[in-house]
């Protein structure tokens, strides 16, 4: 179960592998120029947010994004291993295709990869650990980790979250039973 707490989720800035639709997984792919600019824009948005703690994946693309946010907020930064992207084993670096669909459906698992079910459980564990920190918390992580939020908050079908766009999550109120999400953008 997803811990009921207000939080922000931010997928790291863009990498060259994102552009190419390659499975990054645990590969430590750096932000590209676009990703750095996205992280800078996200840090401007974060200036106006009530964030007490930033929890991040240790992977460079997420950690560098989180450090940019922290620079604008001067809040605590904590690395949580379970917020790392899925390990796709020998398919890391490959473009996503049939193998990826087969992996998500549980039909086939690449050599050395986490199963989809184990990954989602690990990601949920990392998210819940982050949400135990003084909040509101901003989680800076990966698109795959966000699938756990989508699954456990029942936000509908899994979809990709945009790079470096903060999403506010508000837990269900007693009369609604549904999580509320708001995509945050900078005013012009």
d(C-alpha 83, C-alpha 68), whole Å:
18
Given the residues 12, 92, 142, 169, the one annotated as active site: 12
Given the residues 21, 37, 81, 85, the one annotated as active site: 85
Q: Is 142 a catalytic residue?
A: no
Taking alpha carbons only, the member of 52, 54, 75 closest to residue 10 is 54
Pairing of strands 137-141, 76-79: unpaired
Relative orientation angle of helices 143-152 and 116-130, to the nearest 10 degrees? 80
Evaluate the omega torsion of the peptide bond into residue 77 and state whether it is cis, within 30 degrees of 0.
Answer: no
Q: Is 85 a catalytic residue?
A: yes
Contacts of 160 (CB under 8 A, 6+ apart): 143
Burial 121-160 (b: 16+ CB within 10 A, else e): ebbbebbbbbbebebbbbbbbbbbbbbbbbebbebeebee
Would you call 129 helix, strand, or coil by DSSP? helix
Q: Which residues are catalytic?
A: 12, 85
């Amino acid at each position: 179960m997803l811990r009921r707490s207000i939080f922000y989720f931010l997928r790291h800035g863009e990498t060259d592998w994102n552009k190419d639709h390659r499975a990054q997984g645990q590969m430590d792919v750096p932000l590209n120029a676009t990703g750095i600019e996205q992280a800078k824009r996200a840090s401007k948005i974060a200036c106006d947010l009530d964030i007490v703690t930033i929890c991040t994946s240790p992977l460079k693309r997420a950690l560098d994004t989180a450090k940019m946010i922290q620079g604008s907020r001067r809040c605590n930064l904590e690395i949580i291993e379970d917020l790392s992207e899925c390990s796709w084993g020998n398919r890391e670096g490959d473009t996503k295709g049939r193998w990826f669909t087969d992996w998500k459906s549980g039909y086939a698992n690449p050599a050395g990869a986490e199963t989809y079910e184990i990954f989602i459980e690990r990601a949920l564990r990392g998210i819940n650990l982050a949400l135990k920190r003084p909040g509101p918390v901003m989680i800076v992580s990966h698109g795959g980790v966000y699938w756990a939020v989508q699954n456990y908050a029942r936000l509908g079908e899994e979809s990709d979250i945009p790079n470096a766009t903060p999403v506010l999550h508000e837990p269900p109120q007693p009369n609604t039973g549904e999580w509320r999400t708001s995509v945050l953008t900078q005013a012009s």
